[in-house]
């Protein structure tokens, strides 16, 4: 277990940092820049990850990202691609399809342009999954659940099942594979996967449900009585705020709504926070040793937000650098200042190394 330089970091800061890197990944298809994002997340996980069972899930998310990339390439080879290409790599036997399946083909020409497009698209999704895996490896699920606003306590029992399933799954895989090796049984390959897969899924789900049942038995999510006016105001603010956030986000993503996007988004966030604040009055629960949001949490969350904002700005300024073309096929180049902006994501490795387990 490493030694920390201060109190434990708020788990929400890790999620905001990871979501910032994931947002940057969705704004580019440049494989070099995506590789920098993966390297930044992997280095921060290696430096800041605590020694806990739930913190060992990062490798599984990396493997999941590689599987997604390979599946995307396989679909491009078998089902073809909408991207036209002239550099034919191989021609597969094409199966004739009925008239109602027009636009779909099985086999045929496989071009370098189609594979490059599929690789860029799959690598972007894989990078997003790896960023989510970094958040799972750095933020304790139980501490994150404890930090939820009071208005969300009723959904906490369901959230704890979702948040703890993946870490429990990784811990059960390691435990069962070690037990099979001690008994001299295979723990790799298709046979080992089939014999380990079902017990692992059952065990991880049972542990997550048991934790949720224990929380419910101890009164987690119980609410106090509030006046009908407060109840109606909470619902109106929360619903109106979420609608404002959705409309503002849509405005930011379209050129026509850029004028009203930012004000509407800020108003929606403010209304949603007000609704959550009023909803917290329904929960009389006290917190034991609550996690504080200090200067280090601001630095960690701010570094991820800065990465997302700078990459979005770079995409608006020079979209060709962040989205290399495939028709005609050109070699991608690493844009320097967007890559430097991504390196800001390394700040947590300096301000929050060796988080305690």
- For the chain, give every domain's residue range: 225-282
Q: How far is residue 347 from each of residues 47, 144, 329, measured CA to CA in Å?
A: 11, 21, 36
C-alpha Rg value of the chain to the nearest Å: 24
3-state secondary structure of 333: coil
The total of other beta-carbon atoms located within 10 Å of residue 268's CB is: 20
Residue 178 or 188, more confident: 178
pLDDT in tens, 100-124: 766 677 877 888 888 999 999 999 9
pTM: 0.72
Distance CA 269, CA 266 (A): 5
Encoded tokens for 79: 């089902």
Query: Which residues share a beta bridge with 92?
Result: 108
Nearest to 61 by CA among 127, 117, 115: 127
Handedness of CA 203, 207, 212, 217 (dihedral sign): positive
Residue 2 has pLDDT above 50, yes or no: no
What's the whole-number mean pLDDT along residues 189-208? 66
Most confident of 1-10, 15-24, 163-172: 15-24
Distance CA 13, CA 301 (A): 5
3-state secondary structure of 57: coil
pLDDT at 312: 86
Nearest to 119 by CA among 39, 21, 32: 32
Q: pLDDT tier at 148 (50, 70, 90 boundaries)? A: low
Distance CA 69, CA 51 (A): 29
Residue 311 has pLDDT above 70, yes or no: yes
Most confident of 9-13, 70-74, 149-153, 330-334: 70-74
Q: Determine the straight-line distance between the first and last CA of the chain, rounded to whole angstroms.
A: 7
Nearest to 71 by CA among 118, 110, 27, 28: 118
- State phi, psi for 216 to the nearest 5 degrees: -65, -35
- What residues contact 308, with CB distance under 8 A and at least 6 apart? 19, 20, 21, 23, 24, 27
Residue 279 or 74, more confident: 74
């Amino acid at each position: 277990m490493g030694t920390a330089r201060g109190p434990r970091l708020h788990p929400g800061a890790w999620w905001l940092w990871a979501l910032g890197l994931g947002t940057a990944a969705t704004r580019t298809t440049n494989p070099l820049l995506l590789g920098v994002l993966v390297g930044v997340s992997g280095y921060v996980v290696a430096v800041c990850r605590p020694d806990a069972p739930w913190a060992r899930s990062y490798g599984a998310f990396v493997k999941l990202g590689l599987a997604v990339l390979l599946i995307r390439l396989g679909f491009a080879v078998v089902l073809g691609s909408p991207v036209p290409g002239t550099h034919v790599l191989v021609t597969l036997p094409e199966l004739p399809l009925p008239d109602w399946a027009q636009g779909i083909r099985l086999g045929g020409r496989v071009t370098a342009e189609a594979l490059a497009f599929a690789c860029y698209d799959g690598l972007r999704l894989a990078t997003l999954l790896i960023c989510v895996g970094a958040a799972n490896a750095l933020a304790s699920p139980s501490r994150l659940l404890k930090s939820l606003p009071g208005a969300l306590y009723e959904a906490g029992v369901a959230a704890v099942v979702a948040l703890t399933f993946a870490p429990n799954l990784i811990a059960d895989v390691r435990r069962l594979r070690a037990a099979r090796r001690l008994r001299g049984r295979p723990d790799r390959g298709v046979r080992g996967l089939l014999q380990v897969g079902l017990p692992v899924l059952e065990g991880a789900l049972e542990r997550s449900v048991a934790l949720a049942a224990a929380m419910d038995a101890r009164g987690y999510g119980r609410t106090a009585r509030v006046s009908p006016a407060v109840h109606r105001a909470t619902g109106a603010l929360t619903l109106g705020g979420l609608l404002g956030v959705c409309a503002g986000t849509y405005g930011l993503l379209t050129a026509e709504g850029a004028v009203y996007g930012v004000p509407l988004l800020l108003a929606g966030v403010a209304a949603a926070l007000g609704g959550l604040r009023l909803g917290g009055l329904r929960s009389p629960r006290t917190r034991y040793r609550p996690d504080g949001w200090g200067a280090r949490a601001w630095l960690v969350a701010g570094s991820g937000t800065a990465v997302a904002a700078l990459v979005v700005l770079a995409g608006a300024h020079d979209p060709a650098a962040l989205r290399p073309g495939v028709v005609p096929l050109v070699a991608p180049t690493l844009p320097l200042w967007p890559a430097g902006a991504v390196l800001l994501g390394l700040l947590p490795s300096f301000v929050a190394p060796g988080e305690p387990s």
